[in-house]
Structure 1
Amino acid sequence: MRSEEIEIRTGAEEVVHDLTAECERFVRGAGDGLLHVWVPHATAGLAVIETGAGSDDDLLAALRDVLPKDGRWRHRHGSPGHGRDHVMPAFLPPYASVPVLDGRMALGTWQSVCLVDTNVDNPVRTVRLSFLAG
């Protein structure tokens, strides 16, 4: 298995960060296998979603509806409502796997691999890309 970590600066706002270019670079020429993407953080997740047409903003809006940033959360350190950031990975897990065929991800036409980060207290994230040859 080949593996590499990349660092992503997500900043101080909730974000859907497209990782597709980094993933494509990592698997280019690798042959057939499986790309596994892992985010070793308790407050970030991964989604395979369309970006650029509003779906990424809709995802963040839906997360705000389902997981409001208010005082209901028992986990209370950090900025107000931060407890919801610790629940979010149960909805958007910290992992994704994508088939790789002939060194290219087998994504659908509009699919992108995205890091979803709602934690404004942690502006830098680590993402591990791993390729398991088939």
Structure 2
Amino acid sequence: MDSITIDVRTGGSAVVRDLTRECADFCRDRGDGLLHVFVPHATAGVAIIETGAGSDDDLLTALDDLLPRDDRWVHQHGTPGHGRDHVVPAFVAPSMTVPVLGGRLTLGTWQSVCLVDTNVDNPNRQVRLSFLPG
């Protein structure tokens, strides 16, 4: 298995950040296998969704509707409502696996690998990409 960690700056607002290019570059020329994407953070996840047509904003809106940023959370440190950020990975998993054939991700036409980060208290993230040859 080969593995790297990439640094991602997400800024001071909730974001869906497309990582497809970084994932594709990592898998290029590797043949067949599996790409594993993992976010080693308690307040972020990864998702395969369409980007650029509003789905990324829709995802953030849905998370806000489902998990409001208010004072209901037992976990209270950080900015107001930060406790919900610690619940997000239960809904947007911190890892995923994508099949790779001939060094290319086998994503559908409109699918992108994305980091989902609602934590405005931590603008710096790491994402681990691991390739398991088949």
- TM-score between both structures, scaled by the size of structure 1: 1.00
Identity of aligned residues (%): 72
* Letter of the 1:45 counterpart: G
| Shift in Å, 1:92 | 0.3
Consecutive unaligned residues of structure 1, counting only runs of 5 or more, are none
Q: Deviations over 1:7-56 (max 9, x none)?
A: 00000000000000000000000000000000000000000000000000
| Shift in Å, 1:114 | 0.1
Alignment of 1:39-118 (within 5 A): 39-118=39-118
* Letter of the 1:3 counterpart: S
Q: Deviations over 1:31-83 (max 9, x none)?
A: 00000000000000000000000000000000000000000000000000000
> SS at 2:85's partner residue?
helix
Distance in 1, matches of 2:80 and 2:96, equals 29
C-alpha root-mean-square deviation of aligned residues, in Å? 0.2
After TM superposition, which residue ranges in structure 1, 4 or more long, deviate above 6 angstroms?
Answer: none
Consecutive unaligned residues of structure 2, counting only runs of 5 or more, are none
Report how many aligned residue pairs link the two structures.
Answer: 134
Matched with 1:7 is 7
